[in-house]
Structure 1
Amino acid sequence: MQHYTVTITAKEPLVLRTQSGSEVQSDVVDYVQGAKLLGLVAKQSYANLKTQNKDAVYELFHAGNVRFGNAYPICQQQVGLPVPFSLYKTKDAEGNNSFTFSPTGNHKKKQQKEGFVIAKDAQLSLFTVPQGERLKSARDLEKRRSKDEAMYLYSYLKRGVQFQSTIAVKEPSDEITEAIQKLNGAHYIGTSKGEFGYVTIEVSETTKAEEVANVKGKQIIIYALSDLIFLNEFGRYTTQINAADFGMENAKLTEESSSIQFKFFHTYNSKRRNEDADRIAIKKGSVLVFESTEDNQDIEISTQTINEGVGVHKSEGFGQILVNPEFLHCEVIKETTEGIRLNLMSEAKDVESDFLKQLSERNEIIQKDHTAYEEAKKFIEDHKTLFEKTTKSQWGAIRNYVLEAIASENPKEILREKLTDTKKGYLREKANANWSRPQADVIERLLDKSNAVDLLLKICVELPKTLKND
């Protein structure tokens, strides 16, 4: 297996969300998800590879041949590891605070859930990524001022933080190598890219992964380096953890010795413009303790499992583990704020050109959306009487056809076929008694417009709000 080391430097503040691919507002996240690196590679290479070499597309993005690891922050020239949930902050009878793993006794204790750790000279240092907040407002395009009741707070990671990730490739090829090396340079990641998100990325030359031996013992401790996602026998996401998920036999999870937390991902597929099934994951930093069920037999976890990870969605950074990590036994633990951020010199010229390009593209999208919305409002007003007896279910059916068309390579042609085909079209005569011919004719004429897909989608959303039936 070949490895590429990816170093990301935040030249400007970053706004990264906890929900990967989600429409749900969520707290800022303090690392760069592997899915974002996958998305950057796909943005630069997917279209070209799809026309030139479909096999390379499959191997790079879909086959699990390439794993885009999470990029965690660097502190004192070391890559931080998610804080293990077996770490607690305790307070003794005299009010003194300290950190310890899985404390016992009557001390007041609080589980440490935030931050990262680095180990050096038998000492564990705990640090958090510096964050800030900024109050912003949405814009009212018609009144050209701040939008009423649309104030919101942005939490962001401060500029100067460096992150590092590993991209692992089972079977390298020239196409895969070229696509990964294209990450070198300047990019924008996260949300609110007009103001945040400018980063530079450096990709190392390929190196061979270090060989890891099988691990045996009466007890095996597994540390979740990233979120872990598993499927049950029915192919559904599950929280039930089995030793078999880690390739181990004759072993059981010792819950009282483990420190496990779960999280949900409310996923949204922007290509299909629809939600996917919610994912359930074991959170990074969880500590799972497995013990042998046989008195005279060791349990074993294989090299392949350790190197390739566990569970599903490994291409997006999920499934990475460490086995019996030594830092879980450190006795000297302290907090640090040193060596987290770089002192960056201004790169105004590069930032300005990229910023203006991003701003121009964003403004064009907003203007097109605003124009389509105005056209939709006018259409609804002009045809109020014609469609007053239609139902919300009818418009919902058309909306589903629009979403299916958007997910295809030729949305406008596919939409026309699904609605007007003489044999299968939804609006053809006698196909659905609820649509009159005049109504169908008006909708069909919309398909001649250049923005027919976006326009019809907005009509399907807004027109039902005016109906009093269904």
Structure 2
Amino acid sequence: MKELIYQVEFKSDIVLPATSNTEGNIQNLDFIAGSNFLGMVAREYGKFENSFDIFHSGRVRFGDATILKGNQPTYKMPLSYFHEKGKEETLYNHHLIEDFSKFEQLKQKRNGYITKDLEVVEIDYNYSQKSAYDKTKRTSKEGSMFGYSAMKKGLKWQFSIKIYESISNDDIELIKKTILKSNRLGKSKSAQYGLIKISESNISDLGGAKAPLPNQTILYFKSRVALIDENGNPTYDLKYICNNANIDYSKSQIKTSSFTPYNGAMQTKTYERVVINKGSVVMLNDLTNEQKEEIENGVGIYLAEGFGDILINPSFLSKKELEFENSKNKKIDVDKIEIKTPLAKFLQQREDNKKEKLDILNDVDKFISDNKLTFFKIKPKFEAKIKPSQWGKIRSICTSGDKNFKDEIEDYISNGVKAWNDEQRDALLNKNYSLEFIKLLSIQMPKQKGEKDEN
């Protein structure tokens, strides 16, 4: 079997809903389903020598795309990973735990992805509120608000296309040509979303290292799996993974879902599918070589759309206890885009100014907290040692435009009946505080009030 590996880069935000529903709380996929790539190639359906083999036989399999961390492929968080409630730094493989009594309460870790080196990453989203357009009134349509959660521009993904030897070279070349010229993905492609770039990749580590085959075998669902029984009916029963499968249900962790795909060419929904989600972990007893080969060839149906891809004994499921560094809130970094246009530079400047003001405000809050006893009496009641009128004068000096504003402030607070003491002057003037800092401090100081429970 030949394997073609490609990289996908988001050139805009991408919306990938997990369902074809248009109402209600719609969840988003955190991967790119292989059916998207099959659909891209299917635009040239009539040009293939044997279209049935390409799209319906399972001899060509368009795999799901998963997020890249640097140049490392990632894997959906295994459902066998658990952690003690409130302690996410250490994870435990459920199927390797022998004594559950030593844990107060275990919680399943479900979200995110991991690399083969056990680095946890999460995908970040942008949310946008939209409204339908009323063409007759040329305004927003009444009662037609909706929102999109989109994966951020700049993310990079990797997927593979597996092709059997029976597929002709001409058809393979047409697949390559079609997939590389495809540049749209997801929902609302005619608006601000959906722009991508697909390129060939030389990163080939898509399977993960595997441990030797033991008496008990761990199956990791790298993609979704759709099982059918002996009558061809969809089922969640794990015994249909392979012939005579001996499942250890006590050590298996699965998650199921159902969805109804929308066929764009037919412009209608197809039959509902019931699937076992990626990241599920199943333990098999006494796996034979014949069963192993059967699993490696793909499990269940819809193989052409990337379903049925299962890893046997991946390395990240072989350790009982796993330590993760900075596992919480680890996001995928995206490449920074060079700012060239005047509009982009203007918007970037506004963003930088907002961040600068926020940093100054945080510094002011810290100053007030650190110097509370210097500027306020706490007991018997909360009272400011510096009158609001003095802070008003300092603010007036800051807004006067005088370059020597610090000298003028020092002269004001060092002389007169209401001169500050040495500790107060040193707190304000000894450090090289900026004009904006002192101005904001003079605004915030008169607003300070004591705690309600103080005497």
- TM-score class, shorter: 0.5 to 0.7
Superposed CA offset, 1:236-264 (max 9, x none):
1111121x5324x4x42111111011010
- Indicate the residue corresponding to 2:174 in structure 1: 179
- Indicate the residue corresponding to 2:93 in structure 1: 101
Superposed CA offset, 1:381-432 (max 9, x none):
xxxxxxxxxxxxxxxxxxxxxxxxxxxxxxxxxxxxxxxxxxxxxxxxxxxx
52, 72, 93: which one aligns with 2:66: 72
For structure 1, the 5+ residue unaligned runs are 293-297, 349-470
Give the whole-Å Cα distance in 2 for the aligned partners of 1:209 and 1:162.
Answer: 15
The structural deviation recorded for 1:265 is: 1.4
310, 314, 339: which one aligns with 1:325: 314
SS at structure 2 position matched to 1:13 = coil
SS at structure 1 position matched to 2:28 = coil
Give the whole-Å Cα distance in 1 for the aligned partners of 2:242 and 2:334.
Answer: 37
Superposed CA offset, 1:31-84 (max 9, x none):
1110000011112x21333xxx3x2x1121111110000000001311110110
The 4+ residue runs of structure 1 with deviation greater than 3 A are 21-25, 95-98, 204-210, 212-217, 268-275, 298-304, 344-348
Does the 8 Å contact 1:36/1:189 carry over to 2?
Answer: yes
Normalised by the length of structure 2, the TM-score is 0.66
Give the whole-Å Cα distance in 2 for the aligned partners of 1:9 and 1:143.
Answer: 39
How do 1:71-470 residues align onto structure 2 when only pairs under 5 Å count? 71-91=65-85, 98-102=90-94, 104-105=100-101, 106-120=103-117, 124-171=118-165, 172-182=167-177, 183-185=179-181, 187-193=183-189, 194-204=191-201, 216-242=213-239, 245-247=241-243, 249=244, 251-292=245-286, 299-300=288-289, 302=291, 304-330=293-319, 331-334=322-325, 335=327, 337=330, 340-345=333-338
- Indicate the residue corresponding to 2:364 in structure 1: none
Give the whole-Å Cα distance in 2 for the aligned partners of 1:309 and 1:316.
Answer: 12
Superposed CA offset, 1:288-309 (max 9, x none):
01124xxxxx644556434421
Give the whole-Å Cα distance in 2 for the aligned partners of 1:235 and 1:38.
Answer: 24
Count matched residues.
328
The structural deviation recorded for 1:111 is: 1.2
SS at structure 2 position matched to 1:81 = strand
- Indicate the residue corresponding to 2:426 in structure 1: none
The structural deviation recorded for 1:204 is: 4.7
The structural deviation recorded for 1:266 is: 1.7
Superposed CA offset, 1:188-241 (max 9, x none):
10011120111100135899999x999754211111000100111221111112
Give the whole-Å Cα distance in 1 for the aligned partners of 2:135 and 2:285.
Answer: 62
Does the 8 Å contact 1:246/1:301 carry over to 2?
Answer: no
Give the whole-Å Cα distance in 1 for the aligned partners of 2:113 and 2:301.
Answer: 24
Normalised by the length of structure 1, the TM-score is 0.64
Does the 8 Å contact 2:213/2:313 carry over to 1?
Answer: no
| Identity among equivalent pairs (%) | 26
Alpha-carbon distance change, 274 to 154 in structure 1, aligned in 2, over 3 angstroms = closer
The structural deviation recorded for 1:24 is: 6.4
Give the whole-Å Cα distance in 1 for the aligned partners of 2:296 and 2:71.
Answer: 24
Give the whole-Å Cα distance in 1 for the aligned partners of 2:205 and 2:7.
Answer: 18
SS at structure 2 position matched to 1:178 = helix
Does the 8 Å contact 1:4/1:205 carry over to 2?
Answer: no
